[in-house]
Amino acid sequence: MSDPAHDHPLLSVEGLTLAAPSLGVDVVDDLRFHIGRGEFLAVVGESGSGKTMAARAVLGLLPPGIQRTAGRILLDGEDLAAAAEPRIRALRGAAIGMVFQEPMVSLNPALTVGAQLAEGLRLHHKLPRDEIRARSLEMLRRVQIPDPERCLAAHPHEFSGGMRQRIMLASVMLLKPKLLIADEPTTALDTLVQREVLDLMVELARDHDTAVMLITHNLGLVARYASRAVVMRQGRKVEEGQVGEILRRPSHPYTRNLVDALPRRGAAATPVSGEPLLAVRSLRVEFGGRGWLRRNRRRVVAVDGVDLDVRAGETLAVVGGSGSGKTTLGRAVLRLAKANGGEVRFRGRDVLGAGGRDLHDFRMGCQLVFQDPYSSLDPRMRVGAIVAEPLRHLPGMSDADKAARVRGTLEDVGLVGFDARFPHELSGGQRQRVAIARAIVRHPAFVVADEPVSALDMTIQKQVLTLFRALQRRYGFACLFISHDLSAVEEIADRVAVMQSGRIVETGTVAQIYDAPSHPYTRALLEASPTIDLTRMLESAA
């Protein structure tokens, strides 16, 4: 098959090398790739692979401390690396658009959406006001923003993350760039919204014949949207080719690793019977609406009459989009959020009304693993002290026993010899291991894990999930696994509960939910999950 992109590449990066002199390393090393007109190229890699820096170099937006030391960046034959700053500025936005990862901070909160949409048009096209307004409205309609007239006058905080990313996309596509660089544009969004935003992006790019450079760590998205992919690792390109080829027959061991790290369904669990360890009955949690100063705030029902049973040793996953109330459910069960009604029983004893001694006993039996390993560890404590802290409430233990337990637990999570480190000296995966060690050091019967791997790279996710599984087998704790990532859930859960707007809409074993979903919301979630698509595809090919 001849590749038309080779004849007239829109963008061609030749031997790009970026150095961080203060660290004495090259963050990008002799990178070569090209993008044809209207082509959809994915740049795949984990954190530290240099993919974001490469994209920033194309835009001439390298952060301070990083310099281009070699290479050319040709856009339509013009070397951007050699161009003067005013020329780059003229191209930025007009010829190359960029969508960033974090929609919450990439729009200016102080300006109206209309002002931000108009900015680029005014700068690059010098259009009259009504023309700018007309084009903005049309584009907002195009990205399916309800009530575009009102949207122009509104400020970014009035919109959800998905809406903001659409507005961002609208503002970029208004200028009809020849190249759109999207850096992890949907990582912060849940599965359903991710699909909507990306589908829209592909449509818009096709309409305007815009080439797309999608930077991502998610192989599912690569398989679904891109035609060609470049795989990067530690600043180097390790593999390049047609997406189907790369995923089915990866030639480089690292790419193989990435493909192997795709979550696969765990072994079917033998159903656990007997009394539930944790029983939740018609639990209800509401926010807002109280207090005389907040009289006019609307009351939000986050959890609306939820029933759940978690049996000893099993993993029950709660899945749902953002705002479905799954995190609040986990917090309410642990009494970190106040429940407004219903009942939670742990080993048959009431939790919600417990006080003093009873509450303490309950706390001794449960633990929580947080989503963000960067804020869940006290930055001023060493790893050893963090893991040892829960043991101060076990009165019968001698200091020697405690030290031995901490050592053993660190060994369990694969962090031998890390006692004296501070959290900032660890990688994200290592931090999450510390958080897991802290959670299991007291051998709890029940652990709530709130999106424990969603902040981690794919290969690290795999390792942490595998570790979690192994620890669960060894210590036999039950787990409430809260996640929006259906593929991770498929790998780790025994049973799944699907949550939508505060209610559980469907519960079943992994096989029931994934192979024969009965509720439309479950089906929508499954369809939107790109990774599940991909694993199915690879399995059927194998």
Partner 1 sequence: MRFRLNAVVGAVLIGLVLAAALMAQVWTPFDPMKLDLRARMQPPSAVHWLGTDEFGRDVASRLIAGAGTSFEISLLTVAFAMTVGAVLGVIAGFLRGWVDRVLMMLNDALLAFPGMLLALGLMVVVGASKYAIVVALGLAYAPTMVRVVRGTVLSIREREYVEASRMIGNGEGYTMARHVLPNCIAPIAVLATSMFGWVLLSESALSFLGLGVPPPAPTWGNMLAASRPHMDTAVWLSIAPGLCIALTLLGINLLGDGLRDRLDPRMAVA
Contact residues toward partner 1 (CB under 8 A) are 334, 336, 360, 363-364, 366-368, 370, 372, 375-380, 389-390, 392-393, 422, 424-425, 435, 438
Complex with partner 1: residue 448 or 532, whichever CB lies closer: 448
Complex with partner 1: residue 336 or 541, whichever CB lies closer: 336
Complex with partner 1: residue 274 or 379, whichever CB lies closer: 379
Complex with partner 1: residue 69 or 375, whichever CB lies closer: 375
Quick check: 312 and 478 in contact, CB under 8 A?
Answer: yes
Quick check: 37 and 8 in contact, CB under 8 A?
Answer: yes
CB of 368 to partner 1, least distance (A): 5
Complex with partner 1: residue 315 or 376, whichever CB lies closer: 376
Distance (Å, rounded) from C-alpha 19 to C-alpha 30? 11
Complex with partner 1: residue 60 or 390, whichever CB lies closer: 390
CB of 515 to partner 1, least distance (A): 36
CB of 358 to partner 1, least distance (A): 12
Q: Which of 134, 501, 173 is nearest to 320 (CA)?
A: 501
Give the 3-state secondary structure of 184-241: CCCCCCCHHHHHHHHHHHHHHHHHCCCEEEEEECCHHHHHHHCCEEEEEECCEEEEEE
Residue 58's SS3 state is helix
CB of 364 to partner 1, least distance (A): 6
* Cα–Cα separations (whole angstroms), residue 257 to 221, 260, 453: 17, 5, 18
Complex with partner 1: residue 126 or 424, whichever CB lies closer: 424
CB of 378 to partner 1, least distance (A): 4
Question: In DSSP terms, which residues pair with 447 in a beta bridge?
Answer: 367, 479
Give the 3-state secondary structure of 261-301: CCCCCCCCCCCCCCCEEEEEEEEEEEECCCCHHHCCCCCEE
Contacts of 423 by beta carbon, 8 Å cutoff, 6+ apart: 374, 377, 378, 379, 381, 383, 386, 431, 434
CB of 44 to partner 1, least distance (A): 30
CB of 357 to partner 1, least distance (A): 12
Distance (Å, rounded) from C-alpha 418 to C-alpha 143? 49
